[in-house]
Structure formats: C-alpha cells, structure tokens
Amino acid sequence: MIPQRLPAATSRIAPPDRLLPADPTARAIARRLYDSVAALPIVSPHGHTDPRWYAENEAFADPSSLFVTPDHYVFRMLHSQGVPMEALGIPAKDGTPVETDPRAVWRLFAANYHLFRGTPTRLWLDHAFAALFGLDERLNTANADAVYERIDTALKLPAYRPRALFEAFGIEVIATTEGALDDLKWHARLAASGWKGRVVTTYRPDAVTDPDFEGFRANVARLGEITGEDTATWTGYLEAHRKRRAFFRRYGATASDHGLPSARTANLSVADAERLFRAVTTGAPNAEEADLFRGQMLTEMARMSLDDGLVLQIHPGSRRNHNAYVFARFGRDMGADIPGRTDYVAALKPLLDAVGNEPDLSIILFTLDETAYSRELAPLAGHYPALKLGPPWWFFDSVEGMKRFKAQAIETAGFYNTAGFNDDTRAFPSIPARHDVARRVDCAHLAELVADHRLDEDEAFDLASDLAYGLAKKAYRL
Ligand SMILES: [Zn+2]
C-alpha cells in the first residue's frame, strides 16, 4: 500500500463532493475550480511539525503517537468530556504515571470518536484515515483494533516514513517554528543530509521578549552567551536578536512569529526603551512594564524585518495555559489556551506609525477574536501596505470559521491582502487534509461569487490557484 496523492482520496468517510455547495449550478462550478487546484503542491508557511522527523526519517512509532498524543485538538476535546490526559498517554512533567500502551490509548480514542462529530478534527482524521490507510468505515469501538493493526502495519513500511510521506503529500516547502535559543541542530542535520525536501525554520523569540515567559531572565542571559553579545544592555540585546535572526535565516527562515496576549505595540525613545529594558531584566517588572516591553519588541522586530526581510507574524489574544492544573502537570501547549478579546486599531498604531507604510515590510496578522475581522482587521489590511491578514487561526481553522472570515473580511480587505492558507499543525498526517478542506471551502466560496455574477469564472480559476498556493508563497517570500 503506497500513499496516493491525497486530495483525490475518496471513500465513504471522505466523499468526493464534501464541502462543495449543495446547489447544482454552484456545485458544478466549484467542482471545476476544485479539480484545478486539488493537486497543487502544498506550501505550509507556518506550523509546528518536529524538524527531527524529517532529519532522522525514522518510522512513526504507532498509531496513537501519530494521531492522538501530539494533537491538542484531539486530547482537549477528550479532556473536556472527562477522559483523563494520563489515560491518553500525554507525558506528565511532574512524574505522574501515564498510560504507556498505545493500543489502550487507541481504544479509548476510538470509543470516544463520536465526540468529534461536527468538528474539523473529524474531517481531518477521516481524510487521513481514508487517503493514507484506505479506511472506508468510521472509527468505532468494534473496529478499533483492526484499524490500529492496519495503520501500525503501514507505519512500518518505507512509504510511511516522514520523508516519503512529505513527498507523497506534495509538500513544496514547510516551515517549522523554533525558539530563539534553539540550536537548530535538526535543521543543520537536514541541510547536511542531501535530501531535497524543503524544511525551513521560523524565528519565535517569545522566551526572550516576553518578561512573563518562564525563565525570562535566564533566557536573556543565555541569548547573550550564544551570541557573544552583552544582553545586560539594550543595544547588546538588540544586536543578539539580529545575530539570531541571521542564524535562523541560514536555515531557511523567511519569517518570525510572535505569540502575545495582546496586539499592543509601542514606539519608545531609545532612552525610555533602555530604562524599560533594565526594569524588565533586573527587577520584578509589573504587568504594565511587561506588556509595554512586549509591545516595544514587536516594533523593534518590525524594524529588523526592514533590514533582513523576515516576514513578521503576530498571533495575539491567546490566554495561554488557562488551566493551572493542566499547566502544572503537563506544561505548555496542552490545549488549554483560550481566546480573549483583542484590540488591533489602537494597539497597532505605534508600530504602524513607525513602519506601516513600508511596502517592503510584510506583517501578517492573526486573530482569535472574530469580532475584529470586519471592524478592525479588514479595514487595517485594506489600507496599510505593510499589513496582510493571516488565515482563520486555531479554533477558526474550520469550515464555518473560514466562511465567517470570507464573509466578514474579503469585501473590505480583498483577496490580495490575505496570506493564503496555513495549516499551523503539529499533527503531520493532517496536513493534506487541512489544505484540502481549505481548498474546498475556497472553491465553494468562489463558485457562489461566479454563480451570482460577482466574479467571472476565469478570475475564479486565478483566485483558486492563488488561495491554494500563490498567496502563501508570496506573503511568506518562500
Ligand atoms: Zn502556530
């Protein structure tokens, strides 16, 4: 069994016309558009797959560690229904024993598969099961063991190694995300390996730009050690960032990424920035100082982007590690990040006053606050040359989330102030599924515009291709 080019996957659990309009006129147009983009290469400019997979190219261990334990979309839903994360084999930081039998994890997952009804996770999983493993039946308790065997057997074949899957998925380029202090050894190993798959890194400096990040002061000291700069001074600290950005660019980075509680930015004088830097790195900064520093660093990063060309991604508005118990036991990124209300218009003004009219700067904005689409984000991106809108993020990377984005943002921002699609995933087998869902929803939307004569069909073909491929490549300079 060899993985097929995945967009064509059809089975009872992944029917060929899924997500295309029900109206026959619109469906026929959507079908033509979709057929023109289904097999385009995947450009994945933002995500969280592990570069080690591609560097080592070892077989994935078992079905549970491929589909369940790394995917916080999966275990947050199960957790919400009272399934203990320990029973799902999520590694605990505090030494609590957790389930180590992947078959037991899989059975528990299968017994609870109905919980994913109506969610994008269900679409992604069914697509992967059908396309990669030829499954034709919904996962359930009765077939759990047989499905496990089938997937487990396949994972031992050469065709299911990370690099072979990467190629079968049609990935042209994928970006991973590494912290500013990362040594990028897996990227170095990849670069030396001679494999032609293109895997690039992304500069994610939150651990050294956010005074509320665990270990911030030690992290800043470490930044000094690895760059040979004196990060006890503001100028040395900024120089250290420049050096790390250059190092990341050597491993293909075309973007930085910033995950912050708000979109606040600041543009302080050098003297005020120095004072603030001293306050956050030597004392115990108050909440206002910490927030102001994060905001100042966004503007500093934008200035550095003008020099080195990195695209600046801003992912604000997540209340990270909301569940204190889960954070204490399991750590960060465990599905307990909850969206908060986010202001952009006032928050971004200092940064936009500094660099917003620079046509050579590319700032990609994301939101977890959908009320900002039409009120703030689309008007901003439809005006400032430096701004583009990222695709619906996280909870909104879903069929209805994408439709809401299109309904609320496109008329004001236009398609060409958006950045195409990001899969933003840690779950490797879901990558083709996520891109396929986005392509189907895009084609369904374009077909409606053609059917009611807002767009000519030849324009819709151009846009379908741009949305699936060209916009992401251009916005991220890949
Ligand atoms: Zn991300």
How confident is the model over 188-234, as pLDDT tens digits?
A: 999 999 999 999 999 999 999 999 999 999 999 999 999 999 999 99
How confident is the model over 240-298, as pLDDT tens digits?
A: 999 999 999 999 999 999 999 999 999 999 999 999 999 999 988 999 999 999 999 99
Separation of CA 465 and ligand 1 centre (Å): 24
- Mean residue pLDDT of the chain comes to 95
Separation of CA 26 and ligand 1 centre (Å): 33
Whole-number Å distance between alpha carbons of 324 and 255? 31
Separation of CA 255 and ligand 1 centre (Å): 12
Separation of CA 48 and ligand 1 centre (Å): 6
Separation of CA 379 and ligand 1 centre (Å): 24
How confident is the model over 392-434, as pLDDT tens digits?
A: 999 999 999 999 999 999 999 999 999 999 999 999 999 999 9
Identify the bridge partners of residue 388 per DSSP, sorted by sequence position: 364
Whole-number Å distance between alpha carbons of 446 and 440? 10
Strand ranges across the sheet with 363-365 = 178-179, 203-204, 255-260, 311-316, 363-365, 387-389
Q: Which two tokens stand for residue 54?
A: 């591609």
Separation of CA 426 and ligand 1 centre (Å): 9
Q: Give the model's pLDDT for residue 333.
A: 83
Separation of CA 39 and ligand 1 centre (Å): 25
**Which residues sit with Cβ closer than 5 angstroms to ligand 1, an ion?**
424
Identify the bridge partners of residue 178 per DSSP, sorted by sequence position: 203
How confident is the model over 344-375, as pLDDT tens digits?
A: 999 999 999 999 999 999 999 999 999 999 99
Q: Please classify residue 188 by burial: count the beta carbons closer than 10 Å to its beta carbon, then call 0-12 exposed, 13-18 middle and 19+ buried.
A: middle
Whole-number Å distance between alpha carbons of 258 and 280? 18
Phi-psi label, residue 335: left if phi above 0, alpha if psi -120 to 50, beta otherwise: left
Separation of CA 396 and ligand 1 centre (Å): 13
Return the C-alpha torsion angle 354, 356, 357, 363, nearest 10: 130
Return the C-alpha torsion angle 344, 346, 348, 354, nearest 10: 160
Separation of CA 333 and ligand 1 centre (Å): 10
Separation of CA 102 and ligand 1 centre (Å): 27
Separation of CA 315 and ligand 1 centre (Å): 8
Q: Give the model's pLDDT for residue 279.
A: 97
Q: Which candidate, 258, 254, 262, places its Cα nearest to that of 300?
A: 258
Calculate what percentage of the chain has a pLDDT beyond 70: 98
Q: Which two tokens stand for residue 336?
A: 């307990």
Confidence at 1, pLDDT banded by 50, 70, 90: very low
Confidence at 8, pLDDT banded by 50, 70, 90: low
Res 115 pLDDT > 60: yes
Separation of CA 291 and ligand 1 centre (Å): 21
Alpha-carbon separation of residue 181 from 207, 222, 451 (angstroms): 8, 7, 51
Res 2 pLDDT > 80: no
Beta-carbon count within 10 A of 287 CB: 9
For residues 95-112, give the mean pLDDT.
Answer: 96
Separation of CA 98 and ligand 1 centre (Å): 27
Separation of CA 326 and ligand 1 centre (Å): 20
Please say whether the beta carbons of 177 and 201 come within 8 A. yes
Separation of CA 449 and ligand 1 centre (Å): 31
Q: Give the model's pLDDT for residue 11.
A: 84
Q: Give the model's pLDDT for residue 92.
A: 93
Residues 6 or more apart whose CB falls under 8 angstroms from that of 424 comprise: 46, 47, 48, 393, 394, 397
Q: Which candidate, 109, 40, 30, places its Cα nearest to that of 436?
A: 40
Please say whether the beta carbons of 63 and 188 come within 8 A. no
Separation of CA 144 and ligand 1 centre (Å): 31
Q: Give the model's pLDDT for residue 30.
A: 98
Separation of CA 23 and ligand 1 centre (Å): 35
Beta-carbon count within 10 A of 244 CB: 24
